[in-house]
Amino acid sequence: MDNRFSISTYPDAAEINSQLDALIAKPIYSVKPGALKTYEDEYYSKKCIKSKHMIEEASKVIPGGVQHNLAFNYPFPLVFTKAEGAYLYDIDGNQYYDFLQAGGPTVLGSNPVEVRSKVIELLNECGPSTGLFHEYEYKIAKKIIDNFETVEMFRMLGSGTESCMAAIRVARLATGKKNILKMGGAYHGWSDQLAYGIRIPGSKWTQAHGVPRYIFRHTQEFFPNDLNDLERKLKRNTLSGGTAAVMIEPLGPESGTTPVDGKFNKGVEALCRKYGALLIFDEVVTGFRVGMSGAQGYFGVSPDLTIFGKVVAGGYPGAGGLGGKKEYMKFLSAGIAGGPKVKKALVGGTMAANPLSCVAGYYTLCEIERTQAAQKAGLMGDRLTEGLKQLIAKYNLPFVTFNQGSICHLETVGTTHYAINWSKPWTIPGVLNATSERKKEMEHVGAAYMAEGLVPWQEAGCIPVLHTQRK
């Protein structure tokens, strides 16, 4: 094991994908109706009364009663009032293990005092934002650049979504080419152009309700793990505007839920060089969780542009940014008169790079480095996955479990493992029905997890390092 990283052994992607194929070929295995009813009657109706009342009121003013997509919401969302290290507490005082970790940014666990105290100091001194330069803007950029070899410059933005939008603008300006090829099933935020091939590889525009189809004229997808498909599309694009960039989540779509082969990233890099497309790594989940140099350090790949999110504000708001070589980052120079004379990509955000996000991000990254948090969390991920494997075998369950360091997966219904094949259009409704049916069952599994005291992240759980402190 390379001890700079959280991944001790990279999973055998072919083996896992065949286990996932077998899982979705089987009928759904879920919580028995009687057991679900017991959870509803004994836990949710008796022990979550304050949550229930608050969500009833919230549903009158907030669509669906909540503002986030990541947590399970059946039979109703719970209201959380306290987060501390590896634990969450709801408004009724129930305690949970936190495997969601705010969707991944809190590698150190929730609300660590080392970061919080610096944030409070800054708030006392200058408040959260001024709209002007602050020293922590420099410090966080320098910290990222010192750890990511391919990042010579960094521009902080407000979210992962914004950073993905900026990346494709820069790629088009830098190459003069038009098309963006993204990996099917991958999530790169919810902007119009990237709402393509979401969740289900091959799904194209079908999941992008509210986005006109012409927006996707220059967005395309290729199948995960399929370098031949990627090359075919790169070749085809040479006849129609070229490929500005290939964009991937380096562990596989949806944070590695369908894992890519260990050699896949290098293969993508070689094809990008061959066809003159920029390689964009979306490290929103993997940056500083796989290791201080991200998934690119682990795979030994040199992307042209890297997208950061979440962790660069340590769980505080305003988390995102784009990094890369100077020759590309010049298209992001800010300021009215500043920077080189090139056409600049349109990016902005009044709250982007505010002092609060920057100070929180800077000390978060320092703490992750100082405590080797990513590596420690990876070891806990190994331990958890090993335990899950033993339970799956003991109870003869059809489930699939694997981990990439501290990103742990327990697939009980395999919702994200479908793909759409347009050459067999009659199969498409079946795939869409199966995924929504399985997603519904996932909600039931989620209800059981929560009632048993675990808050997971849909089917991918992140293990914050603080779980190590429990004996």
**What residues are annotated to the active site?**
187, 282, 310
284 contacts ligand PMP (rule: CB under 6 A): yes
DSSP-H helix ranges across 148-242:
160-175, 227-237
Nearer to ligand PMP, 55 or 100 (CB): 100
Integer Cα distance of 230 and 387 in angstroms: 37
Neighbours of 345 (CB within 10 A): 22
Give the three-class secondary structure for 179.
strand
Determine contact, residues 324/306, Cβ cutoff 8 Å.
yes
The stretch near ligand PMP (CB under 6 A) out of 183-191, 206-214, 222-230, 323-331 is: 183-191
CB of 320 vs ligand PMP, minimal distance in Å: 6
CB of 41 vs ligand PMP, minimal distance in Å: 34
CB of 432 vs ligand PMP, minimal distance in Å: 22
Q: Quick one: which of 101, 161, 385, 416 contacts ligand PMP (CB under 6 A)?
A: 161
| Listed residue (201, 181, 198) closest to 20, CA to CA | 201
305 contacts ligand PMP (rule: CB under 6 A): no
Going residue by residue from 103 to 122, which x/- string records binding to ligand PMP, judged by CB under 6 A? x-------------------
Q: Quick one: which of 118, 188, 289, 438 contacts ligand PMP (CB under 6 A)?
A: 188
Q: Quick one: which of 7, 164, 359, 460 contacts ligand PMP (CB under 6 A)?
A: 164
Nearer to ligand PMP, 169 or 330 (CB): 169
Nearer to ligand PMP, 198 or 448 (CB): 198
CB of 156 vs ligand PMP, minimal distance in Å: 12
How many residues at the interface with ligand PMP, by CB under 6 A? 17
Integer Cα distance of 400 and 412 in angstroms: 7
Integer Cα distance of 357 and 362 in angstroms: 8
- DSSP notation for 80-149: EEEEEBTEEEETT--EEEESSGGGTT-TT-BS-HHHHHHHHHHHHHH-S--SS--HHHHHHHHHHHHH-T
Give the three-class secondary structure for 188.
coil
The stretch near ligand PMP (CB under 6 A) out of 123-131, 186-194, 229-237, 462-470 is: 186-194
What are the Cα distances from residue 371, in Å, to 259, 357, 376? 28, 21, 9
| Listed residue (330, 311, 316, 302) closest to 155, CA to CA | 330
Nearer to ligand PMP, 253 or 267 (CB): 253
459 contacts ligand PMP (rule: CB under 6 A): no
For tokens 């390689």, the residue is 279
Give the three-class secondary structure for 162.
helix
287 contacts ligand PMP (rule: CB under 6 A): no
304 contacts ligand PMP (rule: CB under 6 A): no
Determine contact, residues 462/408, Cβ cutoff 8 Å.
yes
The first and second tokens of residue 99, run together, are 């495997």
Q: Quick one: which of 51, 159, 265, 458 contacts ligand PMP (CB under 6 A)?
A: 159
Residues in 4-43 at the binding interface with ligand PMP, rule: CB under 6 A: none
Give the three-class secondary structure for 357.
helix
Nearer to ligand PMP, 30 or 306 (CB): 306
The stretch near ligand PMP (CB under 6 A) out of 182-190, 288-296, 328-336, 422-430 is: 182-190
Nearer to ligand PMP, 77 or 309 (CB): 309
320 contacts ligand PMP (rule: CB under 6 A): yes
Q: Quick one: which of 11, 75, 112, 189 contacts ligand PMP (CB under 6 A)?
A: 189
Residues in 191-230 at the binding interface with ligand PMP, rule: CB under 6 A: none
265 contacts ligand PMP (rule: CB under 6 A): no
The first and second tokens of residue 462, run together, are 């992140």
Nearer to ligand PMP, 153 or 295 (CB): 295
CB of 285 vs ligand PMP, minimal distance in Å: 5
Integer Cα distance of 201 and 212 in angstroms: 20
369 phi/psi in degrees, rounded to 5: -70, -50
Upstream peptide bond of 259 is cis (omega within 30 degrees of 0): no
The stretch near ligand PMP (CB under 6 A) out of 157-165, 176-184, 209-217, 363-371 is: 157-165
CB of 167 vs ligand PMP, minimal distance in Å: 10
Determine contact, residues 307/148, Cβ cutoff 8 Å.
no
- DSSP notation for 39-78: IIIIIIHHH-HHHHHHHHHHHHHSGGG-S-SSS--SSS--
CB of 199 vs ligand PMP, minimal distance in Å: 12
For tokens 């140099």, the residue is 293
248 contacts ligand PMP (rule: CB under 6 A): no
CB of 361 vs ligand PMP, minimal distance in Å: 13
The stretch near ligand PMP (CB under 6 A) out of 184-192, 260-268, 407-415, 417-425 is: 184-192
Q: Summarize as ranges the residues that interact with ligand PMP (CB under 6 A).
A: 103, 159-161, 164, 187-189, 249, 255, 282, 284-285, 309-310, 319-320
